[in-house]
Amino acid sequence: MEQIFNVKGKSGFITGAGGGIGSFLAKELAKAGVNLALVDLDTQKVGPMAEELSGEFGVVTKAYACDVTDPESVKRMTERYSEDFPALDFAINNAGIANIEKAMDISYEDFKKVVDVNLNGVFLCAQAAARLMKGRGGSIVNMASMSAHIVNVPQTIANYCASKGGVKTLTKALAVEWAQENIRVNSVSPGYIATELVAGMKDYHPGWISRIPMGRLGKPEDLIGLFVYLLSDASAYMTGSDLIIDGGYTSL
């Protein structure tokens, strides 16, 4: 049991590692002995974090600046990764944004920006990761959302729902296409997790919690076990799955 769940010594990258779920995953995986490339739009946050994690846990950590919506930026990021790490065992495509605007009012530019980061960025990073994994296999984990399954209320985020629905289906398509390369592709669909972003939306909390069967918002700590499972050999036969972790919200 300990052996199949062991991730010590694995190497991979996390996009959107500068805050929220990404920064929490980075710390917990480093604690478990994982070597990491911390990827964000700039290195102001992930640079100090990489130094801190390396010093505290004795793992190899690097900080890379990358615009996940720019193919050339993604290419440069993975080229740097290949120079610094011997292999890519996993990729966590976590970078994402949200925009709470009504569908009738949102500009095309704002709608497109959300889709570009949340969906197109996931594709570009997954594609780049698969090219490094070809011939040896690996695990790609895409960040979807319960918003791929339901429509959030009362906030109006049609743009976000569309992008995350795309991630869920893209994940399945990539899993089928890359299975012959032993590249597993799965997605995680969290519910309301108490990150900095969600903590700042306190007016919504009572309405959200009233619809969650478990009666509370999720914590970043609630996600780590699922990610360890997906990166480890314990999930060797799982691909194309979307795993919801939302306190029961989508079960209603």
List the one residue out of 123, 37, 157 whose CA is nearest residue 25. 37
Backbone φ and ψ of 241, nearest 5°: -95, 145
Whole-number Å distance between alpha carbons of 16 and 196? 14
Please determine, for residue 153, whether its predicted confidence score (pLDDT) is greater than 90. Answer: yes
112 an active-site residue? no
Please write the tens of the pLDDT for every residue from 58-105.
999 999 999 999 999 999 999 999 999 999 999 999 999 999 999 999
Please determine, for residue 190, whether its predicted confidence score (pLDDT) is greater than 90. Answer: yes
134 an active-site residue? no
Please determine, for residue 197, whether its predicted confidence score (pLDDT) is greater than 90. Answer: no
pLDDT of residue 199: 86
pLDDT of residue 154: 95
11 an active-site residue? no
pLDDT of residue 196: 87
Cα angle value 63/222/149 (rounded, 5°): 95
Contacts with 48 (C-beta within 8 Å, 6 or more apart), sequence order: none
For the four alpha carbons of 104, 105, 109 and 112, in that order, the dihedral sign comes to negative
Whole-number Å distance between alpha carbons of 244 and 242? 6
**8 Å CB contact between 53 and 42:** no
Please determine, for residue 167, whether its predicted confidence score (pLDDT) is greater than 90. Answer: yes
Please write the tens of the pLDDT for every residue from 114-130.
999 999 999 999 999 99
Residue tagged active-site, from 23, 64, 81, 160: 160
Whole-number Å distance between alpha carbons of 242 and 236? 15
User: Domains of the chain: which residue ranges?
Assistant: 11-190+220-241
Share the mean pLDDT of the chain.
97
Please count the residues of the chain.
252
Residue tagged active-site, from 11, 23, 145, 147: 145
Mean pLDDT of the 17-31 span: 97
Residue tagged active-site, from 27, 62, 164, 168: 164
Mean pLDDT of the 13-23 span: 97
Report the top-level CATH class of 11-190+220-241: alpha beta
Establish how many alpha carbons lie within 13 A of residue 95's alpha carbon, considering only the half-sphere containing its beta carbon.
30
